[in-house]
Structure 1
Amino acid sequence: MRLRFFLSSPGDVADERTFAQQVIEQELPKDPFMRGRVGCEAVRWDDPAAPVAMPATLTPQEAVNRGLPRPSACDCVIVVLWSRLGTPLPASCTRPDGSRYLSGTEWEYEDAIAARPQPHILVYRRRSPPELGDPLDADYDERLAQYRRANDFFKRFRNADGSLAGGFAEYDTPQEFRDRLRVDLRAFIQRRLDSEQANGQTVRVNAPPPYGRIAKALASGSAVPIIGPGICRSGRPGDEPWDPDAPRFLPSGNELSACLADEAGFPSQAERDQLAEVASYYEAFKTRDALRERLRSLLAPAAPDKLAVPPLYSLLASLEKPLLIITTNYDTLIEQVFRNAQKPYDLVVYSELKELGNAVLWWPHGALKPETVAPNELSIELEKKTVIFKMHGSIVPQTSDLDTFVITESDYVELLARIASRSAIPALFASHCQDRNLLFLGYSLRDWSFRTILQSLNRFFAKRLVAGDDEIQSWAIDDRFSELELKFWQRRGVYPYEVNLDEFVRLLRARMSP
């Protein structure tokens, strides 16, 4: 289960905010009762993990535009107040009746209260009197006004006769707050786990991805993007079909499968979208060379510069820190984008060509011809160089002789066998992933590529789950996941988020921009 906790408070309770984040992201996931069952994330609009600081004048709508989740989109909202209510929001941000919010904290609380269904809401108040300073100080009146506004906030929790209309908890010290919050959140999570078990349902994550955390991981070079076939839906008009005779963008897996099925006379209408089966049929009733030639003509058209490019590639090419980028796509669009951006990179390609044995093809940056290297003998300084690893082969623009495709069922069986014998993926890459955030983009359980990725990372997932390590998070992004896919990801400690890939990149770029 994946839970998000929104932290709402003014700046006078900084200690409480720090303690809350520690409880949520460090203590609770390692609690023996929750380890391996719950992932917790603290959401705060002043997130110190973000690569770019958020301006103090950020309005709620501006925050949402930057990909930050609203309080109402989280599972639990935690409000903490003491001597301040906070800075009033601008006149452009008002309630439906036209009245202004006295602070962002007030807006966050009311956003949560108005949600249907409501998130779990916890309100805390430090009761020790604040030090307001000398009445002669120039800002004394403002400090006093803030204290009065904070007191007035709690009037909404009482009825006209003075009885309580809603609950809040009081505490004396930040440490006392920490202890109380730990107990309250543990009880909340226990109820959620009990409810999930009783319903037998997989919980879908309605909140947006943690853009700040993902942006920081990419900007620091600590993330490994793993790009699947779904990226082909990115950067193209949603309602325009792919035309193999005059392509404006590359085909999706289903479109490529349908094209090959038509040409080969594939007999099953129900399985025309199963690319591995269709490619196997094409190879059997034509030849392997014919399949390779047709794939090259479809995936490397005469005018590649005119093809629509997934925005993700441009974002990755703009990053300063070196990255290991893994892709299961055969086309060369990502290399084209990196060249156009004058971003140096090494290219490593898995090869199914029998004459190369178990070697991978390696083009050091600027090389015209590849070196053939045994996977476990590859030596690249990943801390200094960006590397694109094409795990299922690639078109080689210079010569069709080196084109390689893992596309038929027998190709995938061979790849899985080599993964099992540790002769497919360079050991250098496998060890690099051990302490990195993995970012899966555009993968579906229906794809063979998804299964090979899972197989190659099974040891990695097992080690993290045994360790109960939620500090190095991994994420999966796609338009939609099936119930089975959600369970697959969640049981491997990967947090799945359902969001359009183009929208994901747009909001991620906004978090990385000044």
Structure 2
Amino acid sequence: MASKLGVVGLNTSFLQLDNGNYNKRLGLSSRQFHAACLREGDKWVEKHHANLLMTHHPSIWLDSSSKDHLENLIHTSNYFVVHLCGHEHETRYTGVEQGSGWIRRTMQAPSLFGLETCFTDQGNQEVQRSHGYVASKIEFNNGEKEGNMIHWPRYRPGSPNRAFRLEADNVNNDLSGGIYTSPATFKLRKPFAPPPKNSSSCPDESHYDDVVKAIKEGALVAILGSEVNLYGRGGQDDDEVIDWELHSKFPPTSRELALHLIQKFGLPHKSKKFRCPLCSVNDEHELPPKECWFRDEFLDENAYIYCPRMESDTKVKSKHMIVGRSPLHSSSQYANLTSDGSNKLLEELEKIFHVDKSNESKDFEYQTNPVLDFFAHLPKSLKAKGFTLPYPLIITTNYDTALEVAFKRANQEYDLVFYMNSVKGKDQFLHRKPNGEIAPITDPNDLSLGISFEERPVILKLYGTTDHMNENEGLVITEDNFIEYLVERNIDRLLHVSLKDKINIERNHLLFLGFGLSDWNHRIILHRLWPNQQLKNCWSIQRVVSTPDQLDQKFWNSLGIEPLQISLKTYVDELTKQIDSL
């Protein structure tokens, strides 16, 4: 878990309306503190490991009532590690013990530049002003409930006529070793657990620059995984995870689909191990807590689960999302084997993806989400900025049609290329043109098929699409399907030449969004498309979880990629801003 440092800045100058002497006349109220902290200052400070309080004036410039508010309602109860202030142009570091081991600390610093002289508070004497600064460092001790704070006060000694030179301020401070204050220990608001080694980092400015450059040059290939479907479910609240259910307007993730098939076909769990997809905690427990829905619904006395310890502020409304990590290919394989050749799996998939041709599903369209909308609107956004060719390629391992719906609503033409798993052994990719005409790609080198990134973007669905499945042709979803597809078929020879050229990482860049490598089928598909290659200058963006999946990260690292953690909505929002500013 990353460290969280809260900073609150309060205005002590709003009552100073002229150049008069306002010593002990300024105001400050706890209402300002609570207003700055979403109206709940006491709860806001609890969300951080430590907090800093900043004002322009020290407490001695406040009137008695305001000073009382500061010391008893704001800078109190270990809310803040230190109160940082200035105004008096002198360095002053104080600490007053308040009981229970808590010390109210104040660091007053001078300004680095300004007038050389000023008048005293009485206004009758001109004095020389002090100049300097204070640098500070706060450390959170590994696995502890305490932290340390050190200050480096600096000032300009001598007369104003001397050269501007800063030295350690031993005049106004007791400095350890002559250069910094003695380390001050303080209690953390909550214990600090540093992120594990090799943990995911966040995208920085250079990352966005590189991705936008690839987008402008038409050199970006986006690869969308199952977790893209988690976004857009909670309306404006991007952190909110809402249940997927059979008749939801949004498509399921692969794990939600797997759990649904488990419920429907009764996949046994004896001696199985499950891991929470949200927190991926590695601690193994014999059984989950008694209140866990998963325990009562699925597990018997021989089953095990990785305990789903969620952070208290995680907004999870879904019993489905808290439990289960059974691979989709395993659960669908079991469902297929127990169907006794009656196509029950196909019938259930048609219901799940609203293609059962009933009146309820006839005009059904999925709701889209910010990630899908970004790619659907990207071609026109680039065209408006003068960047037109070549168009992008979007690869997805999802079965649903939400991406196609996003392009339709954006009024953006596209070519769809999808794999069709055939029971007759004629597995191949098919091409659907914007006019709806579908033709098999029998000759991957045929340039007359009309698949061209000079004309429009292309969507490539590696595992098939739900609006083209029947009793003879279907999705790559069961273990048998994947073995035939990834082991017995040569995908490289089935892909059209224009697509193979587009995914050449010597010239283009790959951007993985919500795509995990914990499932073996995803690792094999990457190996088939980019055999024995390090995916340098490629990026993997993963949603934020409290404990990243270390196995997944090691798989990414083996490919030469350091996964970056950020909300996918926040990520595409930032890309949109960058493109809008071109």
TM-score, length basis structure 2: 0.51
**CA distance in 2: counterparts of 1:335 and 1:259, whole angstroms:** 24
Measured after TM superposition, the shift of residue 250 of structure 1 is 1.7
- 8 A contact 2:543–2:567 mirrored in 1: yes
**Which residue in 2 is equivalent to 1:22?**
none
**Which residue in 2 is equivalent to 1:417?**
487
Q: How does 1:317-336 map to 2 (within 5 A)?
A: 317-320=376-379, 321=388, 322-336=391-405
Give CA-to-partner distance per residue, 1:410-441, whole Å, 9 cap, x none: 11111212555633444432332222110111
Alignment gaps of 5+ in structure 2: 1-82, 88-109, 114-132, 142-159, 172-176, 181-195, 235-239, 275-323, 356-360, 380-387
Distance 1:357 1:303, change over 3 A: closer
Distance 1:113 1:241, change over 3 A: same
**CA distance in 1: counterparts of 2:511 and 2:433, whole angstroms:** 25
- Asked if 1:204 corresponds to 2:199, the answer is yes
Give CA-to-partner distance per residue, 1:152-178, whole Å, 9 cap, x none: 6xx55x324899959xxxxxxxxxxxx
Match of 1:281 among 318, 331, 334: 334
Q: Percent identity?
A: 24
**CA distance in 1: counterparts of 2:394 and 2:134, whole angstroms:** 39
**Which residue in 1 is equivalent to 2:523?**
451
SS of structure 1 residue aligned to 2:440? strand
- 8 A contact 1:205–1:498 mirrored in 2: yes
- 8 A contact 1:275–1:407 mirrored in 2: yes
SS of structure 2 residue aligned to 1:259? helix
SS of structure 1 residue aligned to 2:502? helix
**CA distance in 2: counterparts of 1:437 and 1:385, whole angstroms:** 19
**CA distance in 2: counterparts of 1:319 and 1:102, whole angstroms:** 47
SS of structure 2 residue aligned to 1:336? helix
**CA distance in 1: counterparts of 2:461 and 2:84, whole angstroms:** 52
**Which residue in 1 is equivalent to 2:254?**
253
- Asked if 1:382 corresponds to 2:458, the answer is no
The residue identity in structure 1 corresponding to 2:474 is: T
Match of 1:97 among 71, 85, 88: 85
SS of structure 1 residue aligned to 2:344? helix
SS of structure 2 residue aligned to 1:392? coil
**CA distance in 1: counterparts of 2:417 and 2:492, whole angstroms:** 16
Measured after TM superposition, the shift of residue 243 of structure 1 is 2.1
Measured after TM superposition, the shift of residue 449 of structure 1 is 4.4
**CA distance in 2: counterparts of 1:448 and 1:218, whole angstroms:** 30
Q: How does 1:133-282 map to 2 (within 5 A)?
A: 155=165, 158-160=167-169, 202-209=197-204, 210-237=207-234, 238-244=240-246, 246-268=247-269, 270=272, 273-282=326-335
**CA distance in 2: counterparts of 1:441 and 1:308, whole angstroms:** 19
**Which residue in 2 is equivalent to 1:495?**
562
- 8 A contact 2:244–2:250 mirrored in 1: yes
SS of structure 2 residue aligned to 1:389? strand
The residue identity in structure 2 corresponding to 1:455 is: H
Higher relative contact order (CA 8 A, sep 6+): 1
- Asked if 1:294 corresponds to 2:282, the answer is no
Match of 1:312 among 371, 374, 393: 371
Match of 2:467 among 384, 393, 396: 396
The residue identity in structure 2 corresponding to 1:300 is: H
Give CA-to-partner distance per residue, 1:95-146, whole Å, 9 cap, x none: 953789999xxxxxx999656479xxxxxxxxxxxxxxxxxxxxxxxxxxxx
**CA distance in 1: counterparts of 2:368 and 2:565, whole angstroms:** 21
**Which residue in 2 is equivalent to 1:479?**
544
Measured after TM superposition, the shift of residue 459 of structure 1 is 2.3
The residue identity in structure 2 corresponding to 1:294 is: E
The root-mean-square deviation of aligned C-alpha atoms, in Å, is: 3.6
The residue identity in structure 1 corresponding to 2:264 is: E
Measured after TM superposition, the shift of residue 371 of structure 1 is 0.5
**CA distance in 2: counterparts of 1:111 and 1:454, whole angstroms:** 52
**CA distance in 2: counterparts of 1:274 and 1:448, whole angstroms:** 10
The residue identity in structure 2 corresponding to 1:296 is: E
Measured after TM superposition, the shift of residue 370 of structure 1 is 0.9
- 8 A contact 1:202–1:487 mirrored in 2: no
- Asked if 1:371 corresponds to 2:372, the answer is no
Higher helix share: 1
Distance 1:354 1:257, change over 3 A: same
Number of residue-to-residue matches in the alignment: 336
Distance 1:449 1:218, change over 3 A: farther
The residue identity in structure 2 corresponding to 1:289 is: N
Measured after TM superposition, the shift of residue 289 of structure 1 is 2.9
Measured after TM superposition, the shift of residue 310 of structure 1 is 2.2
**CA distance in 2: counterparts of 1:284 and 1:376, whole angstroms:** 34
The residue identity in structure 1 corresponding to 2:485 is: L
Higher strand share: 2
- 8 A contact 1:396–1:402 mirrored in 2: no
Measured after TM superposition, the shift of residue 288 of structure 1 is 7.0
- 8 A contact 1:346–1:363 mirrored in 2: yes
Measured after TM superposition, the shift of residue 326 of structure 1 is 0.5
Distance 1:111 1:102, change over 3 A: closer
**CA distance in 1: counterparts of 2:351 and 2:444, whole angstroms:** 33
Give CA-to-partner distance per residue, 1:55-101, whole Å, 9 cap, x none: xxxxxxxxxxxxxxxxxxxxxxxxxxxxxxxxxxxxxxxx9537899
Distance 1:101 1:205, change over 3 A: farther
Between stretches 345-354 and 356-365, larger displacement belongs to 356-365
The residue identity in structure 2 corresponding to 1:261 is: I
Q: How does 1:13-32 map to 2 (within 5 A)?
A: none
- Asked if 1:350 corresponds to 2:422, the answer is no
Measured after TM superposition, the shift of residue 442 of structure 1 is 1.2
**CA distance in 1: counterparts of 2:134 and 2:557, whole angstroms:** 29
Measured after TM superposition, the shift of residue 377 of structure 1 is 2.9
The residue identity in structure 2 corresponding to 1:228 is: G
- 8 A contact 1:395–1:402 mirrored in 2: no
Distance 1:378 1:326, change over 3 A: farther
Between stretches 276-285 and 316-325, larger displacement belongs to 316-325
Distance 1:263 1:363, change over 3 A: same
Measured after TM superposition, the shift of residue 460 of structure 1 is 6.4
SS of structure 1 residue aligned to 2:343? helix
Distance 1:306 1:457, change over 3 A: closer
Alignment gaps of 5+ in structure 1: 1-94, 104-109, 119-147, 167-200, 465-469
The residue identity in structure 1 corresponding to 2:509 is: N
TM-score, length basis structure 1: 0.57
SS of structure 1 residue aligned to 2:444? helix
SS of structure 2 residue aligned to 1:507? helix
**CA distance in 2: counterparts of 1:385 and 1:489, whole angstroms:** 31
Measured after TM superposition, the shift of residue 225 of structure 1 is 0.4
The residue identity in structure 1 corresponding to 2:369 is: P
**CA distance in 1: counterparts of 2:135 and 2:457, whole angstroms:** 43
